[in-house]
Structure 1
Amino acid sequence: MLPNRADLADFAYVLAIARHRNFRLAGLEMGVSASALSHSLKALEGRLGVRLFNRTNRSVTLTTAGEELLGAIDAPFAAIGQAVENLARFRDKPAGHIRLNVVADAATLLLGPVMPVFLDRYPDIVVDIVASNRLVDVVGEGFDAGIRYGGTVPEDMIVQRLSPDLRWVVAASPGYLERFGVPTRPEDLRDHRCLGVRLGDDRIYQWEFEGPEGEFAIALPSRVTVNETPTMQAMAINGAGMMYGTEPAFAPHIAQGSLRLVLEDWSTTGPGFHLYYSSRRQVPVPLRLLLDLIRELRPLG
């Protein structure tokens, strides 16, 4: 017996629910409400005469029948999706939607210069960017891809480099340095006001340096801790203390004279920004186009 049109539409919902094990996230991916998704699933289960998911307030799991259905329809639907994506090369104007989870500095340094050109070149593509330092499961939370520093990219992902390695430096305002002095060694920072860096997993970052004996890190007590660069820069520019971060993020303020680099001989270099996405899903054409444009414009060199 051939499935009817309603079954085919609901099979796509089954795949989304199985991927996320969450009705809200599956609905976000499919562009419908969680209640509409639940209603469609109940209708499908009623037509098929079997329960496909066990649902409680805390979990959504596949039944044995659901596992069997998933195994039968997953590959054909993936092939159909890829075939539709492949048709994009025949369009005069590529269209579609991509959703990205991006570490905050990459949103400013990479996407800030690139997106105006992208929007002009591809007016029918919609881009949803969530800029956050919080570590998330990009697949589980409905993102097409993520952008993070190379050393923090999750395993089992396809990874594409977007920038060269980045230099990590210490900066302070001229007024602060005039008042408290200029450190000559990283150890001197313990006698200074240093703005703490809170990472996406809530750890406090230890400032890293490189000396004659190699790389090392220093844990510095901080009366103020900040989790994103613009806020920290505003504080540092106004003399609150020294800050630590990537040199490209400081570059405009260095050029304006509102910040000065210190301890440059001790600076270290770390992995640049990388884009990553699941190896189990086809790459949307809009994501490929964005990747190509970042490599074309090379905003960080």
Structure 2
Amino acid sequence: MQTNRSDVADLIYFLAIARHRSFSRAAVEMGVSASALSHALKGLESRLGVRLLNRTTKSVTLTTAGEALATSVGQPFEAIDNALETLNRFRDTPSGRIRINAAVEAANLLIAPVIPAFMARYPDVEIDLVASNRLIDVTDAGFDAGIRYGGTVPEDMIARRLSADIRWVIAASPDYLARSGTPEHPDDLMNHRCISNRLGDDRIYRWELERNGEALQITVPGSVTVDQAQTGLVAVLGGAGLMYLPEPLVAPYVQDGRLRLVLTDWAPAGEGFYIYYSSRRQLPTGLRLLIDFIREVRPLGL
């Protein structure tokens, strides 16, 4: 059977669907509609004479033939991508699209502040940034890289530091402290309204406090639980209670007096943000340039 141009294009679509196990997520990566992907796959299956995918309203899985095809053609297409990426480094103005999955705080505090200057320097590089605290396999999900706090980076990835260590603090509004009092010791937190943090693996975070070698992990009374610090921050600004937050996130509000820090002698420093990516794939030029740019500008120190 002779391969035509339609087969090549549709095989690229097929590989994206195979990675994501989802038409909608593959469509986002490819920049086309899910219906266009579905039409392309039906055409490919018709020309090949075999069914590649099992599709239901809730899931997409590969058939045995689909698994065999994905294994066979995946490496050649990856080799082609790597070859084209190598040529990109010789261009006067590097181009390409990079996909990054970042913790929400990293997206807001680290990536967003550098985007204007980065785009001015490299106008042909396109950034597709997904901000989520949900822990995923970034390679299987079709991302070029992920950004997380150092302690949560998968061990099988290449990782590079993008920020200095980050201090974690407890903050509240002056109005809340005036009404409820200021805690003088971690034990006092049990008598306060606290906003709890849900981690990317659905666990409720235990506040980690440290002073002079004494380390505590406290399950605070959670009046509210949020999975994004920014959500809780809005509530804290409104006087809802105390919250444990990365200091760079609250610093502007402490400076203008809208928030106050408590138990500051118990505030620990944790690992900063790291970018990580697979060792099995060539680093896209645009991603390499973004990493170098962040390390040059240092929005959160380094």
Q: Does the TM-score normalized on the shorter chain lie above 0.5?
A: yes
> 1:122: Cα distance to partner?
1.3
- Change in Cα spacing, 1:48 to 1:240, as seen in structure 2 (3 Å) is closer
Equivalences for residues 9-20 of structure 1 within 5 A: 9-20=9-20
Q: Secondary structure at the match of 2:230?
A: helix
Query: Could you say which residue in structure 1 is the equivalent of 2:261?
Result: 261
SS in 2 for 1:288: helix
Name the counterpart of 1:228. Answer: 228
CA contact (8 A) 1:25 1:142 kept: no
- What is the rounded CA distance, in whole Å, between the counterparts of 1:132 and 1:71 in structure 2? 29
CA distance in 1, matches of 2:274, 2:159: 6
Map Cα deviations across residues 74-128 of structure 1 (whole Å, 9 max, x no partner).
2222111111111222222222222222211112211132111111111122222
Deviations 1:193-219 (A, max 9, x none): 222223233332211111345322101
Tell me which residue corresponds to 2:55: 56
Contact kept? 2:174, 2:258, Cα under 8 Å = yes
> Cα–Cα, structure 1 residues 22 and 178, in superposed 2: closer, same or farther, change >3 Å?
closer
In 2: Cα distance, 1:284 partner to 1:214 partner: 44
Rounded Cα–Cα distance in structure 2 between residues aligned with 1:68 and 1:178: 66
**TM-score normalised by the chain length of structure 1:** 0.89
> 2:45–2:52: 8 Å Cα contact kept in structure 1?
no
Indicate the larger mover: 119-128 or 140-149: 140-149
**Unaligned ranges ≥5, structure 1:** none
Matched residue type, 2:77: F
Deviations 1:280-300 (A, max 9, x none): 333322111111111111111
- 1:32 aligned residue: 32
Name the residue aligned to 1:83. 83
1:169 aligns with 2:163: no
CA distance in 1, matches of 2:42, 2:118: 41
For residues 280 and 28 of structure 1, do their structure 2 counterparts lie closer, same or farther at Cα, with a shift above 3 Å needed?
farther
Identity of aligned residues (%): 58
Instruction: Give, as a single letter, the amino acid of the residue that structure 1 aligns with 2:289.
Output: L
Counterpart residue identity of residue 54, structure 2: R
Separation in structure 2 between the aligned mates of residue 75 and residue 221 of structure 1, nearest angstrom: 51
Q: Is the contact made by 2:16 and 2:142 (CA closer than 8 Å) also made in structure 1?
A: no
The alignment's C-alpha RMSD in Å is 2.3
- In structure 2, the gaps of 5 or more residues are none
Alignment length (residue pairs):
299
- SS for the counterpart of 2:98 is strand
Distance 2:55 2:48 in 1: 21
Deviation at 1:52, TM superposition (A): 5.3
| Residue pairs, 1:1-301, within 5 angstroms | 3-49=3-49, 51=50, 53-57=52-56, 58-63=59-64, 65-301=65-301
Distance 1:231 1:36 in 2: 36
SS of the residue 1:224 aligns to: strand
TM-score between the two structures when normalised by the length of structure 2: 0.88
**Any idea what SS the aligned residue of 2:130 has?**
strand
SS, match of residue 222 in structure 2: coil
Answer with 233-242 or 180-189: which moved more: 233-242
